[in-house]
Structures are given as structure tokens and as C-alpha cells.
Amino acid sequence: MKKIVKYFIAPLVIIICAIVGTYYYSPGTVIKLLTGYAKWKGGIDTHSIQVDKHKWPYLEAGSKNNETIVFLHGFGSRKEFWIAMMDHFGKAYHVVAPDLPGFAENKIVDGVEYTILDQVKRLDKFLSDNDVSKFHLIGSSMGGYISLYYAIMHQEKLLSLALMNSAGVISPKQSYYEKYLIETNENLLIPEDVDGFKKFIDLVYYVPPKMSDNFAAYFAEVRKKRLKEEKLLFQGMLKSLEVPIEPMLSAIKTKTLIMWGDKDRILDVSSVQIFEKRIKNHQTVIFKDIGHIPIMEAPEKTNKAYKKFLDSL
């Protein structure tokens, strides 16, 4: 009995204590382990390439012999946002998802402008240096804004365009986020503490995921360290909005998928009618009871909608 306790039960107790301790006291380690597993499961590799002043980290999966899909994340996000879709589509496509300049591991560079048009130029150079010349483009929120301008400026390179709760246009109906910003001058997209991060999660999800206080504190600290950078990047996006994109949208001839969560509190779903009116060659999918990030709240529905669109091309 003593041998059983010594060689089996005792080590098991130690392992369980280590797992519990890691979960509660080292959320960053847990997240890295889970992300690493998800990438391994999806056959997703991490690479980086120096393009002018920025070093671009990016995720990549699938055979380069297949058509390429390029994924662009939103404000305050990162390349790992797309792992679920990359896992799903990497079997039939070559998939690429970068950290956009100034975000996550693609470090901000002093003295550099970060307007949407500047990001479009950098994206085109990144893709060119990676020998990606013809591809499907999908962008979420700010990534959709960049995708719109890319489609206007370089649509000869696009096989298709997909917009997921895209930024860029002035919605007919003001969103909760916009009203809150005007009334309080608090930007919920740039949380400054744990309370702010919890508000941020409540904002982006229609049904927020359950999150323990230690994980909320970890994510809040990560965002807090980037406070200066995110404020600068947000100003670059606001500067871009000074030039309305709406009159230019009719120039997009690329077949386009418009996806939106009908409970989006950041970019109101009424924005869809602007895109539908201006982009003639489009399909629209509205996800019921879903917020700003459908791929996180409804990954199966999102993947199904995007696959149906790609199959229709």
C-alpha cells in the first residue's frame, strides 16, 4: 500500500496541484499551452519576416499549392484570433494570418503613421515579399476596414473579399459603444484596468464567456502595458475616418461576403445596409444573437457561412 501511495498517488497529487497552481497563479502559461496545442492540432506554424521597418510575425498553414486566404484581425487583437478558422480552412487552402503593424508582436515604430491607408500599403508589401499575389481576403472589424481599402486599391489581386463586422462606415444607427464614448469619454476598446477589461468583454460578446478574476487580471495587465501604443493606433484609425470611404465602395467589383452579428454593440448592424447598397456583388449573412466577433461566439456557423461563400465562387 505504501508503494502505491509513493509511486502512483503521490505523483498524481503533485501533478494535480501543479495544474491547479498554474491555472490560478500563471494564466499566461495556461494560455500559451492552450494556444500551442491549438496550433499543433491545426498544423499551424509561426514565422516572421522583416518588411521595411516592421518585423511581421504571422501564422501559416496548408499547402502553398492551394489558393491562399489572408486573415486580418481587428483593433487590439492579434493573429491568434484566427486559429479556429485557420484550423478549419487550412486543409483545403493555404492560410496566412499576420499581426498587423503596431499590434501584438508586430511592434510599433517611433515616427511612423498608422492610418488605415498606411496599413494597406504595408500589408501589400508584406504579401508581395511572401510571394502571395492572388488570394481571398477576410477582415474583422478594423481588419475589415483595411480589407475594404485593399479591395479598392488592389482588387486585381483578390479572389474574394469577406467582411466580418467591418469598421469603416458611419452606421445609420449609433451603437452602444459610440453613445457611451460620447457620454463618458471612456473608450471601452482600450481598457486601462481590470474593471475596464470586464466592460470590454461585455461589449464585444453578446453572451460573454465566464472568466475567473485571475484571467481577467492577466488580460487587463497585458492591455495596460500597451496603453500608449493602442491610443496612438486608435488615433490613426480616427484620422482615417476623416475621409469617408462610402463613396469609394462602389469601386469594389470583387465578390464580397458581408457577415455580421445582429447584437453587435460596437459597430451597429445597420452598417450592413451601407455595404449592401454600395457593393453590388455581395452576399450577406446575419448571425442571430451574436455580438462583434462571430468567429469567437459562433465558430461553426461562421466557418459554415464562409465555406458556403467560397464554394459559390
DSSP string, 237-258: HHHHHTS--GGGGGG--S-EEE
Residues 34 and 52 reside in one and the same domain: no
First-to-last alpha carbon distance for the chain, in angstroms, is: 67
| Residue 43 main-chain phi, psi, to 5 deg | 65, 35
CA distance 305 to 174: 27
Residues 8 and 23 reside in one and the same domain: yes
Q: Total domain count for the chain? A: 2
Strands 54-61 and 94-98: antiparallel
Range of the domain at 13: 1-41
Q: Which residues are bridge partners to 254 per DSSP? A: none
Residues 259 and 125 reside in one and the same domain: yes
Which residue from 73, 61, 171, 170 is spatially nearest to 119, judged by alpha carbons?
A: 73
CA distance 70 to 126: 11
Residues 269 and 120 reside in one and the same domain: yes
Cβ atoms 147, 169 nearer than 8 A: no
Cβ atoms 257, 306 nearer than 8 A: yes
CA distance 110 to 116: 17
Exposed/middle/buried for residue 72 (C-beta within 10 Å: 0-12, 13-18, 19+): buried
Residues 60 and 37 reside in one and the same domain: no
Please report, in tens digits, the pLDDT of each residue of the chain (313 residues total). 444 433 344 343 333 333 443 444 478 888 899 999 999 999 999 999 999 999 999 999 999 999 999 999 999 999 999 999 999 999 999 999 999 999 999 999 999 999 999 999 999 999 999 999 999 999 999 999 999 999 999 999 999 999 999 999 999 999 999 999 999 999 999 999 999 999 999 999 999 998 889 999 999 999 999 999 999 999 999 999 999 999 999 999 999 999 999 999 999 999 999 999 999 999 999 999 999 999 999 999 999 999 999 999 9
Its pTM stands at 0.92
